């Protein structure tokens, strides 16, 4: 069941030195391409990166939170064509979570490295750095990079006690459920 997948899924930042198979990669891309988007416009674009040196370059895209990518055997750069849709951020984000869930379903680990509105140590935009590496045109903007691979360690999912039920309201804001 889908809820079981969610219960076991974790962000994975350490990977085995083992490639993601072509078949698994194809499934991840198919899943991404099946992502819903506003009005069916599908502004997302995906750049699949398997080259270790290019992934290492991408791992330096921002000051914090991307170094884990260096050891990922696969990176999927989630981008969008900003000329197609005013909600490209949302559509690209939906596609990114679909990729995460598909990876978990395949027994792979993944982690999202946010790139939109993030900077490098020198203050330049991370997206500009990535665009240069991948030869992206100006109208294609980077949302995130997802590192994917075989998890180096088994990790349990987050326990039910970590769920923030106090952030759920019923009928009106800040109104808890009458059912406990």
pLDDT tens, per residue, the chain with 180 residues: 899 988 888 899 999 999 999 999 999 999 999 999 999 999 999 999 999 999 999 999 998 889 999 999 999 999 999 999 999 999 999 999 999 999 999 999 999 999 998 989 899 999 999 999 999 999 999 999 999 999 998 888 888 899 898 888 888 898 887 655
What integer pLDDT is reported at residue 178 of this predicted model?
Answer: 64
Domains of the chain by residue range:
11-167
Q: Which CATH class is domain 11-167?
A: alpha beta
Sign of CA pseudo-dihedral 132, 137, 139, 144:
negative
Query: How high is the pLDDT of residue 147?
Result: 97
Interhelix angle 22-33/88-105, nearest 10 degrees:
140
- At residue 76, the pLDDT reads 98
For residue 96, count CB atoms less than 10 angstroms from its CB and return exposed for 0-12, middle for 13-18, buried for 19 or more. Answer: buried
CB 88 within 8 A of CB 71: no
Is pTM beyond 0.85? Reply is yes
How many distinct helices (H) and strands (E) make up the chain? 5, 4
Name the DSSP letter for residue 66: -
């Amino acid at each position: 069941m889908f809820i079981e997948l969610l219960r076991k899924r974790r962000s994975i930042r350490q990977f085995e030195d083992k490639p993601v198979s072509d078949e698994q990669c194809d499934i991840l891309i198919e899943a991404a391409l099946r992502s819903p988007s506003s009005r069916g416009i599908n502004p997302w674009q995906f750049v699949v990166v398997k080259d270790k040196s290019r992934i290492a370059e991408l791992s330096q895209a921002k000051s914090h939170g991307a170094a884990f990518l260096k050891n990922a055997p696969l990176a999927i750069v989630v981008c969008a064509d900003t000329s197609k849709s005013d909600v490209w951020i949302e559509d690209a984000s939906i596609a990114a979570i679909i990729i995460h869930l598909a990876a978990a379903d395949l027994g792979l680990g993944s982690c999202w490295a946010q790139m939109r509105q993030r900077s490098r140590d020198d203050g330049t935009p991370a997206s500009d750095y990535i665009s240069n590496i991948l030869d992206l045109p100006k109208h294609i903007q980077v949302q995130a990079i997802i590192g994917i691979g075989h998890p180096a360690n088994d990790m349990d999912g987050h326990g039910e006690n970590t769920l923030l039920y106090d952030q759920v309201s019923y009928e009106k804001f800040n109104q808890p459920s009458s059912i406990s």
